[in-house]
Chains A and B, each alone.
Chain A
């Protein structure tokens, strides 16, 4: 016996809902995956995926956030190791283009001099033979990927990449 119009309507309604439930379940998995990635730091904040660390020829190490958020301050820590051949002055050079995407708020400790070069901004600090940490407080202003080149004294420059979310 062929199905009545009501039976057809009912089965198409149920079929619509089955599709809807499938999409909903996939959406839930997406939501929980998003939460997990947020906890792991893929969208900035604390979390292993966000903690970046790089070493320049053993002279200094740079700690930074891989993922930053527009308008939310971030820090760039440069640690100068005791064996760094400082000769009383440590120079940390950052590429100028970086400061088009990030506004520099503070440098701790304050540098004794800042020298501008065509493609670099060089921060000079008085340094002894101990380990020193220099913190740059920055605020991301431009979205997307940005390259930062860090050069400490004569060591080979190091390039790191950061992504800024809206």
Chain B
């Protein structure tokens, strides 16, 4: 029973903790973030397997994590409230060429991030060329450019 409980606790703990870090955490993985992820996985491994190095223990932990993920995906599909809580919702951060500063500040995004995305996706150079920018659930910024008309 313990490996199942350990896996459920670690899954929910990581889910909650990563949700608290905000959308941009995943989109901006720096070298330090990468090292941090490795350290987290190392610490998590200890919590998951405790002192039991048997194959059956690993199989139980892995199956529990995957089984939970399937259950979560079904819950998200069925209940939009669960989907919002677990996966967040997109946020409009530039409306009709006008950056919404207070929202951007709250999400720790600045105009340079929007212009980065605008350059990469559409080769745009200035904010006036951006009609809308949306901070997506995965932390990436989508740009809808102004039409030529």
Residues of A within 8 A of B (CB): 28, 31-32, 34-35, 38-41, 43-47, 69-72, 165-166
B55 touches A165 (CB 8 A): yes
Least CB distance from B5 to A in Å reads 8
Please name the residue on chain A nearest to B55 by beta carbon: A166
A-B contact pairs, 12 of them (CB 8 A): A31-B63, A31-B66, A34-B60, A34-B67, A43-B56, A43-B60, A44-B54, A45-B1, A69-B54, A70-B54, A71-B54, A72-B53
Total interface residues in chain B, CB < 8 Å: 19
Checking A32, A38, A166 against B3 with a beta-carbon cut-off of 8 angstroms, the contacting residue is A38
A31/B67 in contact, CB under 8 A: yes
* Inter-chain contact A45/B70, CB cutoff 8 Å: no
Taking a contact as CB atoms under 8 Å apart, the answer to whether A165 and B56 are in contact is yes
Main secondary structure of the interface of B (DSSP, over half): helix
Q: Which residues of A contact B64 (CB under 8 A)?
A: 35, 38
A35/B4 in contact, CB under 8 A:
yes
Residues B57 and A46 in contact, CB atoms below 8 Å apart: no
Q: With the chains together, A166 CA to B63 CA distance in Å?
A: 16
A165 touches B63 (CB 8 A): no
Chain B residues in 8 Å Cβ range of A69: 52, 54, 56-57
Residue numbers in A under 8 Å from B3 (CB-CB): 38, 45
Q: List 10 tightest A-B contacts by C-beta distance, closest first.
A: A69-B54, A165-B56, A31-B67, A166-B55, A38-B60, A46-B1, A47-B1, A72-B52, A43-B56, A34-B63
